[in-house]
Structures are given as C-alpha cells and as structure tokens.
Amino acid sequence: MNIFYHIGRYTQMLGQMFSRPEKFSVYWSRLMDEIVQLGIKSIGIVVLMSAFMGMVIVIQTATAIDSPLIPAYTVGFTTKQSILLEFSPTIISLILAGKVGSNIASELGSMRVTEQIDALEIMGVNSRNFLITPKILGAVIIFPLVIVFSMAFAFIGGWFACVSTDLVTVDKYLYGIEIFHDNDFMYLSYALSKTAVFAFIMTSISSYQGYYVKGGSLEVGKASTRAVVYSSVLILLFNYLITQLVLI
C-alpha cells in the first residue's frame, strides 16, 4: 500500500512539474544554473575517477590475459568496450547519484523545512515546476556530455598505465582502441541514452525525497540517504532492463 502511495505521489509530482513556466527567462537562467551546478561542477570528480578507472582496467586486463595466442592490442579493445558500455555510463552515474542525489534532496529538504517552498507556493509560483524541472532537464542535458568526458579521461588513464608499466605498449593499446567495430556507434548512443535515463532517475527520485520532507534537519538527512539508496538501486535495475532490451 505504502509503495503505491509513493508511486502515485511521485507520478503526480512529475505531472505538476511540466506546466507552463511563469516567466521563461527566469526558468532559462535556472536551467543554466542547474547545468553548471549539477554537471560542470561534477566534471572534476568524474575526470579523476575515470582516469584511475582507465588505469586499473588496463592493468587488470593485461595481467589477466596471459596467453601468447591472444594479441596484445586486445587490452586496448577490451578497455574500450568496458569503458564505453559499462564503466563510464553506469559506474559514473552511480557516483553522480551519490553526489548529485544527496545534494538535491538536502537542498529541497532544507527549503521545505524552512518554509521556502511554502513561500513560493503562496507567491503563486508552481514550486515543482520552478525547483525540480530545471534540475531534471539540466541533468538529462549535461550528464551525457559529462560521460563523454569520463570516457575520454578513462582512455587517457589507460594510456598512462601503458606508459608507466611495460604490460602493453602504447601503440598496441591505441591500436586496440582504434579498431572499429560495426556496433561502436550503436554502443555509444546506447551508453549516452542510458546515461540520460539514469540522470532522470537520480534527479527525479532525489527531488521527490527532498520535496516531500516533513519535520526537521534529521528528516532532511534521512531523505538524502534514501535519495542516494533508491536512485542507485533503480539505476542498477534500469541498467539491466535497458541492456537486455537494447543489446540482446
């Protein structure tokens, strides 16, 4: 019963979000702010994690492939496939769910308990439309771009691992990455599309958790935790569903 109540209220929230904005110019500037806050300001951590991820994938793949029958460029090829299909879109999205999800839930939760949301409503502003829509749209627009950055820096990380160890030569690694697979474009669009879906999930779930907080700062903290946990679980679930739907 409880879950149906939440699904109903979540759906209602999404429905009320997409109404005509009171003033387009204000919403446009809110959207730009959210793109910067959620996306651009996450690039630092994404770049750092992706680079290290790339290094580790190269070392693990190179040490795992022990057979002389398997060519060395396989390390580059495997790294590309792993990063493109799973590591960048899914793992980075999970990391962003932690960073962005808790940020959104605590921001909206604090606004709720300090009556700032009530103040917006009394002024006649559709608070869901004003506060939540720019966050969701901003994330859906910017996160695929952030993931492209992640992919690029993971490849650079892999290159660094090749340079700093003698497990595989840089030429072989780059050759492995450059091998064109018929499905590469499809894989890229699959990765970016699922990132957009994950962006929607993490921002809408976190907004829901923050927007409907009742009580004080303790509840805001709990809402932030719930936002991260539910977003992560749903990202994993949808990752499986989308993968099964697209790749099989």
Q: Which residues of this chain interact with other proteins, rule CB under 8 A?
A: 22-23, 26, 110, 114-116, 118-119, 121-125
* 125/167 with CB nearer other proteins: 125
Q: Would you say 220 and 111 are in contact if contact means Cβ atoms under 8 Å apart?
A: no
* 118/184 with CB nearer other proteins: 118
Q: Would you say 132 and 207 are in contact if contact means Cβ atoms under 8 Å apart?
A: yes
The distance of closest approach from Cβ of residue 119 to other proteins in the complex, given in angstroms and rounded to an integer, is 4
The distance of closest approach from Cβ of residue 163 to other proteins in the complex, given in angstroms and rounded to an integer, is 44
Q: What SS3 state is found at 1?
A: coil
The distance of closest approach from Cβ of residue 36 to other proteins in the complex, given in angstroms and rounded to an integer, is 13
Residues across the chain: 248
The distance of closest approach from Cβ of residue 145 to other proteins in the complex, given in angstroms and rounded to an integer, is 24
How many Å apart are CA 111 and CA 119, to the nearest integer? 10
* 19/189 with CB nearer other proteins: 19
For residue 115, how many C-alpha atoms fall within 13 Å in the half-sphere facing its CB?
3
* 19/183 with CB nearer other proteins: 19
* 114/183 with CB nearer other proteins: 114
The distance of closest approach from Cβ of residue 124 to other proteins in the complex, given in angstroms and rounded to an integer, is 4
* 118/171 with CB nearer other proteins: 118
Backbone angles phi, psi at 115, to 5 degrees: 65, 15
Q: Would you say 45 and 235 are in contact if contact means Cβ atoms under 8 Å apart?
A: no
- DSSP state letters, 64-75: H---TTS-TTHH
Structure tokens at 112: 């709720």
How many Å apart are CA 48 and CA 147, to the nearest integer? 13
First to last CA, the chain: 35
